[in-house]
Amino acid sequence: MDRRDFLRKGTVFAAAALMGPGAALAGGGSVVALPRPDTGGGKPLMTCLAQRRSSHVLGREELGLPALGALLWAAWGVNRDDGKRVVPTAMNKQQAMVFAVRSDGVWEYLPREHAMKKVLEGDRRRSFDGAGLVLLYAAPEKDRYAAMHVGSMYQNAGLYCASAGLDNCVKYQKHDALDAELPLPDGWATFVTQSVAPRSAR
């Protein structure tokens, strides 16, 4: 990244901070600042572990921005001033990406800015199971540690779902449905998906 790109991106994310959570920014409303997660809330860890489960029938209702922001942070957020993440990566290389498939497009999560950037237009949820939200976890295909990193990410997201009362299910079927269209670096691929929706009445 050259100095001009650095300054431009800095201006964009400074504007996001000033406009507040959920603000659509320049570039066709392509970047949205997410609400900061409440890291002092939620259920006790042991309760979340006891309640963690997969739900094979998920609703079509979408998550609000506060829940979406907390979920993405749980999966791949920054939790220290030095830029390290909520999940460990081998040699701290941090080679992973998370995309959120919503009714209003496909969004890439930007961990350092705690924001999301639209990368594909349109409702692509039918490319998967049609759940309210589908997360895509991508990493380098030939990285021997990639599956371990992705597993840590979706487990964190699953524990957040248990805490927040959300249904979720990790799936391999159709996991690469959008790989040809996503802005993935060369040699990267989607390893698995995770469908999420507000808990259905039982």
Predicted pLDDT of residue 133: 97
Q: Which residues pair with 125 in a beta bridge?
A: none
Predicted pLDDT of residue 71: 98
Predicted pLDDT of residue 200: 72
Predicted pLDDT of residue 116: 97
Sorted by where each starts, the structural domains of the chain and their CATH numbers stand as 34-198 (3.40.109.10)
| 146-164 vs 65-76: helix crossing angle, rounded to 10 | 140
Predicted pLDDT of residue 45: 94
DSSP string of 95-128, one letter each residue: --EEEEEETTEEEEEETTTTEEEEEE-S--GGGT
Predicted pLDDT of residue 11: 40
Predicted pLDDT of residue 142: 96
Predicted pLDDT of residue 5: 41
Predicted pLDDT of residue 44: 93
Predicted pLDDT of residue 199: 87
The set of residues, in sequence order, having a beta carbon less than 8 Å from that of 14 and lying 6+ positions away, is: none
Backbone angles phi, psi at 170, to 5 degrees: -85, 135
Question: Six-digit token pair at 28?
Answer: 């066709």
> What sign has the CA pseudo-torsion 137, 159, 88, 73?
positive
Residues of the chain predicted below pLDDT 70: 1-29, 201-202
Predicted pLDDT of residue 130: 94
Predicted pLDDT of residue 18: 39
pTM greater than 0.75 (yes/no): yes
The set of residues, in sequence order, having a beta carbon less than 8 Å from that of 93 and lying 6+ positions away, is: none
d(CA 109, CA 98): 6
Predicted pLDDT of residue 65: 96
Predicted pLDDT of residue 56: 87
